[in-house]
Amino acid sequence: MSWHLFLLSGIFVLAGIFHFVKPKAFMRIMPLYIPYHRQLVYLSGLTEVTAGIGLLFITTKSISAWGIITMLILFFPVHIHMLVNQKAGLGLPKTVLVLRLLLQFGLIYWAYLYT
């Protein structure tokens, strides 16, 4: 296994853990039209941890990569919401929010390499 795979796995496992450590931070960035903020934050955290770990096993690597791709696509509304809603943007500069949104495409491609 390459270090790239371990790095991608680690990114998602850590990101998922933070959903449980700081759930309010994730709930604050969710658009109001999305219901069940707390439940979705915990579900997405659990899914990120599970998919991140799943990348490390041959039998689950592909499904985990597709799960990550699906999550990243589903997270687009949150990133767009952060970009257009100053309060949801957590005071981050627009440039950072645009780069964060563009980073999603890089992460999607990176995960696709393991499908």
Q: What is the DSSP string of 18-67?
A: HHHHSHHHHHHTS-TTS--HHHHHHHHHHHHHHHHHHTTSTTTHHHHHHH
| The pLDDT value given to residue 90 | 76
Calpha distance 28→49 (Å, rounded) = 21
Kindly report, residue by residue over 26-61, the tens digit of the pLDDT: 998 899 899 999 999 999 999 999 999 999 999 999
pLDDT at 83 over 90: no
The tokens of 47 are what?
A: 């899914």
Kindly report, residue by residue over 1-13, the tens digit of the pLDDT: 799 999 999 999 9
| The pLDDT value given to residue 18 | 97
* pTM confidence score: 0.90
The tokens of 31 are what?
A: 């658009």
Domain boundaries, the chain: 3-112
